[in-house]
Amino acid sequence: MPTMIKKDDKAMEPPNEKPHRKIERDDVPESSNHIPPPESGVLKGGKVNSKTRALKAVTSIIADADENPQKKVNNETNGVQKQKTEDLSKRIGKFEYLFYKFLLVLLYICFGSFRYGQYQYHKMKLRIFSIIYNHAYTPQLIRQDVIPLKKIPKRLAAILEVKPVGDVGGGVTGLLNDASEIVCWTVSAGIKHLMLYDYDGILQRNVPELRMEIHSNLAKYFGPAHVPNYAVKIPHSNKIFYNLDGIETETDVGNEIEANQEKDKIAIEISLLSNRDGRETIVDLTKTMAELCAVNELSVSDITMDLVDSELKQLVGPEPDLLLYFGPSLDLQGFPPWHIRLTEFYWEKDNNEVIYSVFIRGLRQYAGCKVNVGK
């Protein structure tokens, strides 16, 4: 088996770097590709979703009453002819239909106000949490928080997203800052692998900036003299960058000190993932396998779970143990599907910032601690 895998590897690389497919992706306005699930889509909307707007939206379903029933009738006549009786009742029940619409709007309004209360409650909780869990830019404190836990994940993944440029912590700089903060926490907690996912691959495109940002943030936490070694990896293009190698910095002092340390001892490995590593990679793998089978280098019976798994491990990375999401309601955004088999999810309801309390509470959940401070 291992010999075959090696062969496969060689063949695996070209499809990832085919230029034409990349161009195909670039000309599409990328952020518009992803349609979030309703709840998180609405909650992330920010100012657009005022209460009055929600009310308008909810009441608007009465206005377009004419579209829906016709569609439904059409479907049913297409489907089963025996159900004519039901059609009849529907035609008679125009008044009834309107009544149910009003009732639904009423239900929506009730639910909406309940949800609003819940939203405020969650926000309050988050504020309390952010007082209780505070890292104060001190890695020792983070370690102190982690030590009582029974276990910590081996590999951590986090889904990040770009916020509108006008918001606090928005735009690409905000994203880079969030990413580097998470890196610092992960290093301090003693976790060796981190996967950062963002749908559009913005992190992958701004690797030099990201490395600078991570470096300066680590310097903030650990002091400029003791910046831990880190490696930034892009599995998709198979590149690894160490620390600040190859980047010219203003002060070369930091670089010299690092050169003195042992280079091979890396405190954290950060891999950057994007939507490209999800479905597309699996389909690409299928294509490659099909090509290999066509030239008789591989037979269909050789395609086993182990082979696919090892290939995807090489192309994307191993399965993370804990996935943190910093949005208001769970939205996986196309995170590589093969890799979330047993992954534990953690997110904080109605939270929309990258904050330390989500990180540490996520670790607590993973450890199976039922101690909820602040409740």
Partner 1 sequence: MKMPSIIQIQFVALKRLLVETKEQMCFAVKSIFQRVFAWVMSLSLFSWFYVNLQNILIKALRVGPVPEHVSFIMDGNRRYAKSRRLPVKKGHEAGGLTLLTLLYICKRLGVKCVSAYAFSIENFNRPKEEVDTLMNLFTVKLDEFAKRAKDYKDPLYGSKIRIVGDQSLLSPEMRKKIKKVEEITQDGDDFTLFICFPYTSRNDMLHTIRDSVEDHLENKSPRINIRKFTNKMYMGFHSNKCELLIRTSGHRRLSDYMLWQVHENATIEFSDTLWPNFSFFAMYLMILKWSFFSTIQKYNEKNHSLFEKIHESVPSIFKKKKTAMSLYNFPNPPISVSVTGDE
Subset of 258-317 contacting partner 1 (CB under 8 A):
278-280, 282-283, 285-287, 289-290, 293-294, 300, 303-305, 308-309
34 touches partner 1 (CB under 8 A) = yes
Separation CA 60–CA 72 (nearest Å) = 19
- Asked if 344 and 323 count as a contact pair (C-beta separation under 8 A), the reply is yes
- Asked if 270 and 232 count as a contact pair (C-beta separation under 8 A), the reply is yes
Residues 130-149 that bind partner 1 (CB under 8 A): none
230 touches partner 1 (CB under 8 A) = no
36 touches partner 1 (CB under 8 A) = yes
In this chain, which of 7, 22, 53, 263 binds partner 1, going by CB under 8 A? 53
In this chain, which of 15, 112, 170, 318 binds partner 1, going by CB under 8 A? 112
Buried b / exposed e over 35-68, threshold 16 CB at 10 Å, is ebeeebeebbeeeeeeeeebeeebeeeeeeeeee
- The smaller minimum CB distance to partner 1, of residues 192 and 279, is found at 279
Options 6-14, 71-79, 162-170, 183-191: segment touching partner 1 (CB under 8 A) = 71-79
22 touches partner 1 (CB under 8 A) = no
- The smaller minimum CB distance to partner 1, of residues 226 and 287, is found at 287
- The smaller minimum CB distance to partner 1, of residues 300 and 371, is found at 300
- The smaller minimum CB distance to partner 1, of residues 133 and 366, is found at 366
- The smaller minimum CB distance to partner 1, of residues 139 and 334, is found at 334
Residues 328-367 that bind partner 1 (CB under 8 A): 329-338, 340-346, 365
- Asked if 277 and 336 count as a contact pair (C-beta separation under 8 A), the reply is yes
Residue 352 phi, psi (nearest 5):
-130, 25
97 touches partner 1 (CB under 8 A) = yes
In this chain, which of 1, 107, 147, 259 binds partner 1, going by CB under 8 A? 107
Residues 154-173 that bind partner 1 (CB under 8 A): none
Number of residues that bind partner 1 (CB under 8 A): 71
Options 28-36, 179-187, 220-228, 243-251: segment touching partner 1 (CB under 8 A) = 28-36
Options 4-12, 39-47, 184-192, 263-271: segment touching partner 1 (CB under 8 A) = 39-47
Minimal distance, residue 294 CB to partner 1, in Å: 6
318 touches partner 1 (CB under 8 A) = no
- The smaller minimum CB distance to partner 1, of residues 70 and 251, is found at 70
Separation CA 181–CA 185 (nearest Å) = 6
> Hey, what are 2's tokens?
């291992």
371 touches partner 1 (CB under 8 A) = no
Closest CA to 249 of 281, 283, 212, 300: 212
49 touches partner 1 (CB under 8 A) = yes
101 touches partner 1 (CB under 8 A) = yes
Options 75-83, 127-135, 236-244, 351-359: segment touching partner 1 (CB under 8 A) = 75-83
